Amino acid sequence: MEKSSSIQVTFTTGHRNLPYATDEENGHHPMIWLSREPERITEIPELQNEPELKAFISAINAPGRHFETFRCAHSDTEAPGSYTRAMYVAVLFRDRALAASIDNYMILAREIVTGTANHPDFPANTVPFELRLAQHWLKEESAWVYTADIQFWIQALDQAAMRNEMSKEMAFLEKILTS
């Protein structure tokens, strides 16, 4: 049976700096490189009461992986009979030579789209993820890199169902980002 799958890929011109500016009053907490300081994961406010997301972030930042994270966020909206989570996790290649080429992020996009097409948890004709590509200046390393914010939108009947679906989607991405 034939199935098609899509993801959305966007690119923003201009650039941002990493580490990014902090503004704790508006939710911009100091950046923590978990690939270098994994024990600091407990300091990330967005991961409080989020065991699935915390495990996902830990797995990506584990030693020997190709990617590392540098930012994440989520927000929930609840209405009668509906629970929606919008979230993203920002990643970049640890190997800065790989991160310097946007082509390597297009390979990541290919892996995600072909994976969703062949995965039974993703129905045909859905768009489960968006990759938002941007260029960043790594101030401490004096290097230009590309990054990808991986966006999720999960709609379910209630919070438990949303968490179940989110776990499936993160397990799928974890396999791609950690192999």
List average pLDDT for each run of 10 residues in the chain, which is 179 residues long: 87 90 76 94 94 96 96 95 96 98 97 93 89 96 97 95 96 96
CA 101 from centroid of its chain's CA atoms? 18
pTM score of the predicted model: 0.92
% of the chain surpassing 90 pLDDT: 82
Q: Count CB-CB contacts under 10 A for residue 154.
A: 21
CA distances from 161 to 17, 31, 32, 151, 170 (A): 37, 31, 31, 19, 14
* pLDDT for 77: 97
Amino acid letter for position 67: F
Q: Tell me how many degrees the CA angle 134-136-142 measures, rounded to the nearest 5.
A: 155
